[in-house]
C-alpha cells in the first residue's frame, strides 16, 4: 500500500486537459517537495516536474504541477498521443526518512 | 549516464549483487538511490547512500537484507540483497539523488536503464 495515493488510470482524447492527483499526509507532501516522473512503456522513469511545479529543460510547457496542503496534481493541457505513459508522484517522508512513491497512474490517450 | 548490471535468474534464499556504473566524475558529489519495480507494479524506493557513504537509509521492506555501498574512486554504486524471495522479482534501477539545504529529496535523475532480477527455483 503506497503512502501516496494516485488514481490507477486516467484517459481522454487528444487535446483534452488531463489532471492526475496525488494525495499524501503531513509527513510527506505536507512538509516536502513533490516530484512527478513519466515512464514511457519499457523505459526508465524520467523527471517531469520537480519542487512542486518546476519543469526541467526540455519538458513541454503543457505539463504543469501544483501542490496544496497534503495533495498535489499534475496537469497536462492538450494531451497528445505521445503522452501515453505511467505517471508517478514522489515526495520525501520525514517519518520514514526516505522518499515515497504513489502507486502510479496509467494515462491512455483515446 | 548510469548503467546497471548484475541482474538475472536467482534461486530463492540466495543473494544478488548489482552494480551501477556512472560515466561522470561528478558521481562522488551526489547521493545515490536504488529503486525497483515489480512486473506491472509501481516504483518502490529501496535505499539511499550519501555522497561520501557516511549516511544510509533503507525502506522497511528490505531493512536488514539490503546493503548499499559505493566506490567513488571508480564511480560505481552497489546493492546486495540477501534472502531473496519471489517477491523480490523486479527491475532494479539506480538513480542519482539530490540534497537541498542539507536534506535529501525525492529527486531521481538520471536513472539507469534498469536490470531485471527474477527469483525462481
Residues 63-102 of A with CB under 8 A from B: 88, 90-92, 96-102
Question: What percent of chain B shows pLDDT beyond 70?
Answer: 100
Over range A11-20, report the average pLDDT.
Answer: 97
B45 vs A32, A33, A99: nearest CB: A99
Residue carrying the nine cell digits 547521493? B31
Return d(Cα B28, Cα A34) in angstroms, integer: 25
**Minimum CA–CA partner of B49 in chain A:** A98
Nearest-CA distance B59 → chain A (Å):
7
Residue A1 has pLDDT above 90, yes or no: no
Question: What percent of chain A shows pLDDT beyond 90?
Answer: 97
Q: Let me know if B113 is exposed, middle or buried by CB neighbors in 10 A (0-12, 13-18, 19+).
A: middle
Do A76 and A62 contact (CB within 8 A), yes or no?
A: yes
Return d(Cα B109, Cα A17) in angstroms, integer: 27
B25 pLDDT tier (thresholds 50, 70, 90): confident
Amino acid at each position: 500500500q503506497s503512502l501516496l495515493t494516485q488514481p490507477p488510470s486516467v484517459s481522454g482524447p487528444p487535446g483534452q486537459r488531463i489532471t492526475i492527483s496525488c494525495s499524501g499526509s503531513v509527513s510527506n507532501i505536507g512538509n516536502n517537495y513533490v516530484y512527478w516522473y513519466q515512464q514511457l512503456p519499457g523505459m526508465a522513469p524520467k523527471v517531469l516536474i520537480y519542487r512542486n511545479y518546476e519543469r526541467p529543460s526540455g519538458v513541454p510547457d503543457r505539463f504543469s504541477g501544483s501542490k496544496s496542503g497534503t495533495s498535489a496534481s499534475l496537469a497536462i493541457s492538450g494531451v497528445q498521443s505521445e503522452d501515453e505513459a505511467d505517471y508517478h508522484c514522489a515526495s520525501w517522508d520525514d517519518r520514514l526518512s526516505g522518499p515515497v512513491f504513489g502507486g502510479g497512474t496509467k494515462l491512455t490517450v483515446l | 549516464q548510469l548503467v546497471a548490471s548484475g541482474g538475472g535468474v536467482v534461486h530463492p534464499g540466495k543473494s544478488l549483487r548489482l552494480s551501477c556504473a556512472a560515466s561522470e566524475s561528478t558521481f562522488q558529489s551526489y547521493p545515490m538511490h536504488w529503486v525497483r519495480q515489480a512486473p506491472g507494479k509501481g516504483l518502490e524506493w529501496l535505499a539511499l547512500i550519501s555522497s561520501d557513504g557516511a549516511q544510509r537509509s533503507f525502506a522497511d521492506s528490505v531493512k536488514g537484507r539490503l546493503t548499499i555501498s559505493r566506490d567513488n574512486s571508480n564511480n560505481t554504486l552497489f546493492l546486495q540483497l540477501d534472502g531473496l524471495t519471489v517477491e523480490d522479482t523486479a527491475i532494479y534501477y539506480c538513480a542519482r539523488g539530490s540534497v537541498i539545504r542539507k536534506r535529501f529529496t525525492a529527486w531521481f535523475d538520471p536513472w539507469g536503464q534498469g536490470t531485471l532480477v527474477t527469483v525462481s527455483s
